[in-house]
Amino acid sequence: MAGAKATKAKVRLGDLVFSKSATAAGTLILITLAAVAFFLFIQALPAFLPEADFHSKADNPLEYVAPFIFGTIYGSLIALVIATPLAIGIALFISHFANRRFAQTLGYLVDLLAAIPSVVYGLWGILVLAPFLNPTYVWLNENLGWIPLFEGQVSATGRTMLTVAVVLAIMILPIMAALIREVFLQTPRLHEEAALALGATRWEMIRMAVLPFGRPGIISAMMLGLGRALGETMAVALVLSPSSIISFALLTSTNPNTIAANIALQFPESGGDYRSLLVGTGLILFFITMVINMFARYIISRRAEFSGAN
């Protein structure tokens, strides 16, 4: 029947609706992203013109923003260093060690951590975590003070970069653990059995089959966590006692603030070119996040042929 007549494939309504709506959704993302970038750019532009006047709050836009860029990346990276091993451990425990019912309960509990608003984390950070950690900080400073990270005058309040990093680590932990857990659960049973049949112990099996298979997922989870930590505002604004310096010291009361927290703290009392400058720092945060995501894509694609996805 078809042969001669049907030179063109029949277009079905369902296919058409689906493909158009999918395209529309994809396009919408790009438009939103472009609109945000455009808004930031236009609003920030006055701050970067030579005649900009910041009312003595800043001299030079780049000098102003440098400590915040540093603080943002530094705090987030430490949070990531703390959270990644924990997230992998939790994910491994849930996916490969705990019995099923207990694993499910634990999974729910970890997911619940993600539902707590960040302002609550901030308050908890100041009221509970900072006083709790402070004796440890004193100890670290006394005994390991020769390491530049722990040098300087220890903060009396505990509202330090390290406390912020711990709070951020706890905040990004649930999403990372959940994502990594899903990836670990997808490890093909065939590969696990291949390792076990070679005489691997459970841990060796995890090292041979589960972790390498989950590597792209772990990297994705790290980037997602990092993205969240970079942009986290409330918790940092509440916990950190900020300064405008670049310092690696983790335990002092002069800490480099983060971009997002600085915007939150400064914006209510800002105006004119200084407000533009704050928006400009937001634009920079936007780029940092983008570059990090691109870098993650690159790392994952570099070993794509060894990923097991083929």
Partner 1 sequence: MSKRIDLESLNVYYGDFLAVEDVNMVIEPKAITAFIGPSGCGKSTLIRTLNRMHEVIPGARVEGHLRMDGEDIYAADVDPVKVRRQVGMVFQRPNPFPTMSIKENVLSGYRLNNNKMSKSDADELTERALKGANLWKEVKDRLDRPGSSLSGGQQQRLCIARAIAVEPDVILMDEPTSALDPISTAAIEDLAVELKEKFTVVIVTHNMQQASRISDMTAFFNIAGTGMPGKLIEYDKTEKIFSNPSQQQTEDYVSGRFG
Residues that bind partner 1 (CB under 8 A): 188, 190-191, 193-201, 204, 208-209, 212-213, 215, 303, 305-310
Distance of closest approach, residue 220 Cβ to partner 1, in angstroms: 16
Distance of closest approach, residue 224 Cβ to partner 1, in angstroms: 22
The Cα 289–Cα 286 span in angstroms is 5
With respect to partner 1, which residue has the nearer C-beta, 194 or 292? 194
Distance of closest approach, residue 104 Cβ to partner 1, in angstroms: 15
Distance of closest approach, residue 193 Cβ to partner 1, in angstroms: 7
What CA–CA distances, in Å, run from 285 to 60, 199, 221, 233? 18, 49, 19, 12
With respect to partner 1, which residue has the nearer C-beta, 102 or 139? 102
Tokens for 39? 């808004």
With respect to partner 1, which residue has the nearer C-beta, 57 or 191? 191
The Cα 292–Cα 310 span in angstroms is 26
Q: Give Rg (Cα) of the chain.
A: 24
The Cα 162–Cα 144 span in angstroms is 15
With respect to partner 1, which residue has the nearer C-beta, 289 or 307? 307
With respect to partner 1, which residue has the nearer C-beta, 15 or 204? 204
Buried b (16+ CB within 10 A) or exposed e, 25-51: eeeeeeeeeeeeeeebeebbebbeeee
Distance of closest approach, residue 206 Cβ to partner 1, in angstroms: 13
With respect to partner 1, which residue has the nearer C-beta, 269 or 305? 305
- Whether residue 67 contacts residue 254, with contact meaning beta carbons closer than 8 Å, is answered with no
Residue 167 CB-density burial (10 A; 0-12 exposed, 13-18 middle, 19+ buried): buried
